[in-house]
Amino acid sequence: MTSVGTAKPSRRGRRRPVDGQARTRRHAAPDAVALPLVPDSRVWRKMDLAGGWTAWVMWYGGFAGQEATLQAVLNAADGSETALIAAARKLAGHGALLAHKDGVALGMTDVVASVPLYCAGARIAADGRDLVKAAGLGGIDQRSALQIALAGYTVGRRTLTPGLEALKPGEIVVVDALGRRHLRYARYVGEPDEAIDPADPQVMAQHNAMLLGLIEQLARDAGGRTIAVPLSGGLDSRAIASGLKLVGYDKVLCFSYGLPDNHEASGAQRVAKRLGYPWRFVGYEPKSLRAFFTGETAQRFFTFADRPDAMPFMQDVPAIERLRHDGLLPEDAIIVNGQSGDYIAGNHIPAAIGASRAPERLTRDALFHAIRAKHFDLWAFLETPAAVDAIKADVLKDLGDCVGDSMTRKDAVIAYELSEFENRQSKYVVAGQRCYEMFGYEWRLPLWEPALVEYWRRMPLAAKFGRRLFQSALEAANWCGVWGADWRFSRTVVPSWLRPLRLGVKALLAPAGKDVWHRAEKHVFEWRADPIQNYAIAPYRRVLFDRRGFRNALSWHAEAYLARHGVSLDALAAGAD
């Protein structure tokens, strides 16, 4: 596994400590080293290894043949931290490792923590709920609950339960007679090479060659099994599907979901047809999705995917269930989505800090404002001055030495991307893999492969803002003829009968200004027009008459998650005053 960030002094004289020694955190020595807690699930593989180690492994993509590398990681656990970090960086793919031998326990996440791990005292676990019980923890951390209410996830190691901590991406935790220590072997701290020109044909060719190499590895790893691709009208899943076609892998099933005739599904159908891959559509209608959210499958998923630091990402679940029911998804299929190509290639960088018109130097306040505006405003009525100050303190503390009192535009972007990587992406977005695990399916995340993460960490802002390099490189290559101006799909309002009504209300409210129209659009129309029907978790009347200032459908998912954990938004609001 390639390093994702290595420690070296910055030009401003500050040190970004990424090396394991520099980022070691120690806790008190335990009375005894306990076995890691592993869920009773067939997705975890138990292995007896040399040196007295028992390991539990959940690792996808390239794990076959890596037993020697895994053994090297465990052998190094008794040695120097430098050796342990070097061994960890050689693992490819995604997953998590738990291991134990007399007197030592170890846990390790991958570079994006696609499979979460937790710790409390001298215990390590794959399921936070098991650890809460084993460690005798309880109560609700109100500050963490506020973060979830406003963003859908916590900041840093925080969880809903006081005393329970989440491991970060690219982290190893070791518990032995000396105590518990945390080591970072990977961290997404940008080191952009400003000499790289994203318009250089050679740079674009190198980008495409790296991406295609990862897709070739995916095809080899699949070994003739069906690869199921949740295909949208966007760029990321299209890169996966067209890449598979280019390398000659034919056993691919593309599927889409949502409201009939939504632009994402219509575009996906056209792409799949051009590639010659079968395409299936699973309709999401308000009535059926409302029934789903209150039904047995959703409740089972809420239990299966529940974690103490983020609400679940679940939009694929109804589609997977239907495809299984219809016999279209083989039991040994591998599901490969496009997460998170839009983030890693730079599409999430806010214009306020990333655009050429942005100030050349920014303050800590300006950086936090960009983070808050993008992520921490799911419920306006919770954004009291005290709440905002608390969020700000936690966000900036989590970024540590990546934030100065005054930063260049480039350094502000580096800090912004690190914050999103370690919080929203690793805790919420990548957790969508649980949609597949619940049904027993393997998955792969080629756009989160460590080599690709390292590649984008080195790209300059000019290559990333607006995902310039990613889009221009693939459109120049035009893999399998599904790229370019003719393959850009504009959003349309569905269902079609809603369009004249929406336009009529917009015209009627025009004299009142854009803000009035946008509020009406959100309250009156979005519940019905949301292409993937995420609003269906709440009744239409609640959305229509709500006056608490929800931002979008995710606001209601955050409220539902907290309610399942016994936390009400009203109580949070009272505590935030």
Give the CA count within 13 Å in the CB-facing half-sphere of 1. 34
* Range in 34-43, 113-122, 428-437 with the lowest mean pLDDT: 34-43
Residues carrying CATH 3.40.50.620, the chain: 201-344+431-487
| Integer Cα distance of 569 and 557 in angstroms | 12
Give the type of residue at 82: T
First to last CA, the chain: 47
25 strand-pairing partners: 182
Percent of the chain with pLDDT over 70: 93
Q: Which residue has the tokens 């061994």?
A: 87
Helix/strand/coil for 148: helix
| Integer Cα distance of 25 and 8 in angstroms | 19
515 CB-near residues (< 8 Å, 6+ apart): none
Dihedral over Cα of 306, 312, 315, 320: its sign: negative
Q: pLDDT tens, 66-84? A: 778 888 899 999 888 999 9
**Counting Cβ atoms within 10 Å, is residue 274 exposed (0-12), middle (13-18) or buried (19+)?**
middle
| Integer Cα distance of 176 and 171 in angstroms | 16
- Looking at residue 45, its pLDDT comes to 87
Q: What's phi and psi for 512, nearest 5 deg?
A: -80, -10
Q: Which residue has the tokens 């005290």?
A: 386
Asked if the model's pLDDT at residue 235 lies above 50, the reply is yes
* Range in 7-21, 160-174, 283-297 with the lowest mean pLDDT: 7-21
- Looking at residue 577, its pLDDT comes to 55
Are 304 and 435 in contact by the 8 Å Cβ rule? The answer is no
- Looking at residue 26, its pLDDT comes to 65
CA distances from 413 to 13, 342, 574 (A): 18, 15, 35
Q: CATH homologous superfamily of domain 201-344+431-487? A: HUPs (3.40.50.620)
Q: pLDDT tens, 141-153? A: 999 999 999 999 9
Mean pLDDT for 38-60 is 87
Confidence band for 15, pLDDT divided at 50, 70 and 90? very low
- Looking at residue 25, its pLDDT comes to 67
**Counting Cβ atoms within 10 Å, is residue 451 exposed (0-12), middle (13-18) or buried (19+)?**
middle
CA distances from 58 to 167, 184, 186, 222, 431 (A): 16, 20, 19, 17, 14
- Looking at residue 21, its pLDDT comes to 35
Percent of the chain with pLDDT over 90: 87
Model-wide pTM > 0.85? yes
Asked if the model's pLDDT at residue 22 lies above 60, the reply is no
Helix/strand/coil for 303: helix
| Integer Cα distance of 106 and 101 in angstroms | 9
Q: pLDDT tens, 196-231? A: 999 999 999 999 999 999 999 999 999 999 999 999
